[in-house]
Structures are given as structure tokens and as C-alpha cells.
Structure 1
Amino acid sequence: MSEAIDRINLRTMRDPAVVAHYARPWGLSPAEEATFARVAPLARGRRILDIGVGGGRTVEALRAISEDYLGIDYSADMVEACRRRFPEARFEFADARALDGIADGSVGLAVFACNGIGMVSHADRLRILREVRRVLEPGGLFVFSTHNRNSPEFARGFRLPSFEWSWHPLRAAVRSLRFCGELALRWRNRRHFRPFEVHAPDYAIINDQCHHYGTMLYYVTLEQQQRQLADAGFDPDAEAFDLAGLPIRDDSPHDSITLIARKPGAAHATAFADAARAHPVAG
């Protein structure tokens, strides 16, 4: 199953159109703005590891926190796109499941944005959590986002491509052809990839509509995600934020949840608590 998920997702992430999509200038989401602001006081000047960097959407914001920055991705095409966009920054081809080139306890802040940790199997996801904990300094922070199994998006059925009607005949014809082409692509991907779905008691991997159903994505509840973090050796009190960047107390209906997890370490934990008091989050 792990090989099938890798094959499906890597094929999409290497598609030139998808690479070009992620390489466009995109701003941070409200959740990323909130979490980056939260961790910046403690991560300032420390080594930052930007996992699944994609086309480089998070590069400028993270390098503003620290120039000791490394972006990695398991798609060589994404790495090359980043190197072209940001020649002054460092990027490497690497897999989050085996961060062999990164020493134990050498990273102050690790980031895995855009639900990237959800593009692998369950066993590989747990392996990533352990690897991130390994490379973090004592008290180091891990910011990542994950799809929420308690959201309406998880249970939503097949969705048609978007279509905007035009009274202009040529424009309407072009849009209709595009709609038909995207519909055929979605139907084909859905038929081929849905058999690889996994529905377990504590998580699910589904053929998500992302990139016209060209991905297999992991969904988990906030409670189960916090349990995974604790089992991997992180502090059990990971903070969570919804898509609007507001703190989550118990649960959320939002499709995506962003978390701040901390590797145990007394000195850095105290510094983070002091920084949190100095920069409180509204909610």
C-alpha cells in the first residue's frame, strides 16, 4: 500500500503543470501566519528545516525568521523550481522519512506545510514524526498541517470541476472543452485510485479531489494527531489552529488543522512559554 500511495502522489508532484502551480507566488495562509508568528521569537537565528518545500511558498517567511535555512522535497522537480526562484537559499532532494543527512538535535524549527505530511502511508507518517523529533534540538518546534477527519470535506462525495458560464460563444466553447477534459481526468483518476483507500479506526487515506483526484491524502482527527505526536516523543500539549489562524480548544470542522509540536527540553520549553506570554494568540 505504501508503494502505491508513493507512486500515485509522486506522479502528481512531478507533473510539470503541478510544479508550475506550486512555483507561482503564493502568500501564507492565516494559519501559517499565526503559527509562524507564534514560533518566531524562539526560532530566531536557529536552523530551520522546511520539509516538502514544494515550489517555495514558505521560503521567504521562514528565511525572515532565520537565514540558517534548508528546504527539502522528495520531488526533484520541486527542488529545481525552488533553486531557480531562490538562488541564494539552500535546497536539497531528500525524503522526510529518512533525514540521513541531518544530525540529531541540530534543527531549531521544522516545518511541513500544506498538509504535506499527509501524502504518505500511515507507517511512513509515524516514521516522519520520529525523524523530525530526532533532528530537533531539545525544546525544538515542529509546525505542520494535516487534513481533518472530522471536517465535512472528508465525507464529501465526487465533485465536478468548476465551470463559469459565458454568453460569449467562443469563450463558452473553450470553457466547456476544459470542463469536459477535467471531468474525464477526475473520473479516470477516481476509478484507478479509489481502490487504494484505507479506512481505519484512527485514520483514513482517501482519494482526495486535490489535483483532480490525483492524490491519496491522509485524514486524522485532532485527538488522534495529538496522540501520534505524544507516541513519537513530543510534548503532549501541541497547540492547534484552524484555517482562520484561530486556536482550537477541542475540535474544529475546518478541512485543515495546523499544529505546533515541541520536543521536550526544559530550557527551551521555558523560553517558548515566555515567548508565548509575550505574544499571546487571540481566541
Structure 2
Amino acid sequence: MNNQSELDRVNRVAWNSSDAIRVFTLERAFSDLGEQAAFEWLAPRCTGEPLLDVGIGTGRTIPLMTSISNDYTGVDYTPKLLEMAKSRYPDLDLRHMDARDMSALPSGHYGLAEFSWNGIDCVDYDDRVKILEEMYRVVRPGGYVLFSSHNRGGPGYRENIWQLLPKFTFNPLKLGWRTLRSMRHFQLGTLNYMRNVKLNHDYGDYSVKTAAAHNFGIVIVYTTLREQRRQLAQIGFESCAVFGSCEGNRIDNDVEISDAWWFHFIARKPVAACRFD
């Protein structure tokens, strides 16, 4: 997309940083217990179906997705990360594509479209709607979407630059190590925070705020359960399940307040859906 918002520009810089590449290349399977619970819920419903993996980064989710189906397509809008994924998985269908415009992909085709690691939070609200509408379009009637999103009421929303200061300890060796580590991150983190804090805005049911990840180098959307369920219903989805991040617990439909760091939302396109077909 040519017309980038300031939030979009900030986050694109972060995804090309050495810190982001370091994080994205860590060997891990599931990002957290919530993602594992969501995959276990979806696996029997999506086995063998065509799968779309949005925002693949360097390819962490590829083994998870291909473990339930060989019909796989992965997309990402950061060329550097995508090339790393292609070098690891040269035989897969991996494409450079922005989730806000996936017009190159067929409508009503995929049994599951997923966007992991809170990637949908890294664009502004209107673009978030575009992504969900595109995910709605490409999944088949009866198909599913899975995505994770930061919690407006969770501990991540309360993070600030003071956490970059070393935590005191009476052990001089530990304190020295913590001080050295803090010196390395505090200056860059403070600079990023002061530069990005102007983008902070609280809209009530969701907020835009600079986040601690990548040395306060990203600005993201934090949502509430109520707002995200409302947004999904507005687009045409049926909400199926929500899992909290750290403990992997399923959150009941009538719950509106949670202390999870982020949520994993599963929604389904109705069998009789026709809005975007």
C-alpha cells in the first residue's frame, strides 16, 4: 500500500530492525498456551483444508499450519522477513502481500485464515477492519479465522519506559549485570518512546499506544473483548471461541473483562454467508 499512516511507518521500521529479526528467529513452536489451545480447537475442524497464513515473518507458524494440511499459502508484507522464510521453506507457496489487500487470492477458498503474534494490532483501526474483511472474503462459507490481539485491560497496556531501569538487588554481580543490560536498552527505548508517544490515543473500547516490544519501537492497538466481538459481528463473522494468552484458558462468551496479556479469537464465516462473495 502506498499511503502509509504514521503508525504503519513506525511499525514497518521495527520489523526490519535487528531486534525484530532476533525475536522472530527464536526457535519456538506455539507463542503461548493460548495459541496452542486455539490450534487444538481448530485442528479437527480444519485438517486437510486449504490454509492461509497471514504475517508469517520468518516462518514460525509454518510447521504448525502444515502439520494439519499440505494445502498451504503464507504471506507477509516485510520482504526481509519473507526472504528468510523462503530460505527455510523453499518448496512452499510464500508470497509478498499486504493483508489489507489480498486481491491476488481467491474468494471463498480457505478453510482457515490465521494472523498470529498480534500482527493485526500493528495497523490503525480502519486498516484492521480491512484485514478482517479480506480474511472474511477469502475463507469459504463455514471456514474459520484465527488471530491474536492485545488486551486493553491487560498488563501489557500498563507497560512504560521505567521498566527499562535495572531492578534493584543486594547481589552486586546481578545488579551490575542488570545495570549494563539496562544501559544498552534504556537510551534507545526512551528515544523510541518519546518519538512514538504522540500517537497514543484512548478511544474507550480500544486504544492506540506505544508498546514495550522492540525497545518501545512499535505502536499497536489494544482492544477489549466487547469491542472485538462487536467488530467481528459487524463484518459478518460468528464468534466461536476466545482463549487467553498465558494460561490458555477459554474465556466464556459473557465475560468482558480479563487480565490476559492478549487474546486468541476464533470466528467462523456463516455457511450461508454472501456479503463479500
| TM-score normalised according to structure 1 size | 0.87
The runs of 5 or more residues in structure 2 that have no matched partner are: none
Q: Identify the residue that residue 262 of structure 2 maps to in structure 1.
A: 256
The runs of 5 or more residues in structure 1 that have no matched partner are: 268-283
Q: Does 1:92 align with 2:95?
A: yes
Letter in 2 for 1:144: F
Q: Distance in 1 between matches of 2:91 and 2:165?
A: 38
Q: Distance in 2 between matches of 1:23 and 1:124?
A: 27
1:120-147: CA deviation from partner (whole Å, max 9, x where unpaired)? 0000001111110000000110011101
With 142-151 and 196-205 compared, the bigger mean Cα shift is at: 196-205
> Residue 66 of structure 1 is aligned with which of 48, 63, 69?
69
Q: Distance in 2 between matches of 1:2 and 1:83?
A: 26
Q: Identify the residue that residue 28 of structure 2 maps to in structure 1.
A: 26
Q: Distance in 1 between matches of 2:51 and 2:183?
A: 43
1:238 offset after TM fit, Å? Answer: 3.1
Q: Distance in 2 between matches of 1:219 and 1:121?
A: 11
> Residue 224 of structure 2 is aligned with which of 215, 221, 225?
221
Say if 1:147 and 1:255, in contact at 8 Å, map to a contact too. Answer: yes
With 36-45 and 176-185 compared, the bigger mean Cα shift is at: 176-185
Letter in 1 for 2:202: H
Letter in 2 for 1:252: S
Q: Distance in 1 between matches of 2:212 and 2:176?
A: 25
RMSD: 2.1
Q: How many residues align?
A: 264
> Residue 238 of structure 1 is aligned with which of 214, 236, 240?
240
> Residue 56 of structure 1 is aligned with which of 51, 55, 59?
59
What does 1:13-162 correspond to in 2, within 5 Å? 13-28=15-30, 29-161=32-164
1:50-76: CA deviation from partner (whole Å, max 9, x where unpaired)? 111112111101100111111111111
Name the CA shift for 1:187/1:127 in 2 (closer, same or farther; >3 Å): same
Letter in 2 for 1:189: N
Say if 1:103 and 1:135, in contact at 8 Å, map to a contact too. Answer: yes
Letter in 2 for 1:242: G
